[in-house]
Amino acid sequence: MAGCCEPQGYDLIFSSGQAERDAARYRKSGLTWAPRRTVELFNDGTFGGESVLEIGGGIGDLQVELLRAGMARAMSVELSVSYEAAAGRLLRQAGLAGRSVRLTGDFAQRPELAQPADVVVLHSVVCCYADAGRLLSAAADRARKHLVLSYPRETWWLRAWAPIQNIYPRLRRSDWRFYIHSEAAILAAIEHAGLRRIHIEHTRIDHLAVFSRTE
């Protein structure tokens, strides 16, 4: 469970209702772009490993698909407890509950929550956390081989949209905010931990990058 020092009110934004909607969308349409490309990059050998740690794993759909693709073990650390019921059902329905561990808490503040894994994944997480450097440093420290990351591009129109996006959580008295972090700062935090970028691709909104350990 989240501790008193962790961001408050995330469950107001990432609610059980949102989790059920995400699960219904996944059952109908499959993975969204960044998770789908992650599985494809795993399948084509861009990165590899037997275990995955996903920070901000949501309903766990990516973990399900990576386990199906050949990974042996998965772990998730999710800030909001509201996803757990929907995620548990997906794992049980896929027959994979015994190969996945789900934990809740603020990973940036409590990196000891998770054991190291061959691959660490963060999709649509950096944009939800104020201290991106701390989050990415903790994630990179847990990556034995690779880190896979998606994050918003630094466009003028996304920067203009962010304050509008943040009106709703302010009204709900939630600590959650949408952030556009500097790409230079993101890369610096990961590279300082001994990983280098080996793959990058884009949509109009997001970057998707794969980093490999050099040490």
Q: What is the pTM of this model?
A: 0.92
Q: Per-residue pLDDT tens for 128-147?
A: 898 999 999 999 999 999 99
The amino acid that residue 151 corresponds to is Y
Q: What is the DSSP letter of 124?
A: S
CA angle 35, 123, 153 (to 5 degrees): 110
Q: Which of 47-51, 75-79, 109-113, 169-173 has the highest mean pLDDT?
A: 47-51
- Closest to 162 in 3D by CA, of 178, 181, 182: 178
**Per-residue pLDDT tens digits for 48-92:** 999 999 999 899 999 999 999 999 999 999 988 889 999 999 999
Which domains does the chain possess?
Answer: 10-213 (3.40.50.150)
User: What does the pLDDT read at residue 13?
Assistant: 67
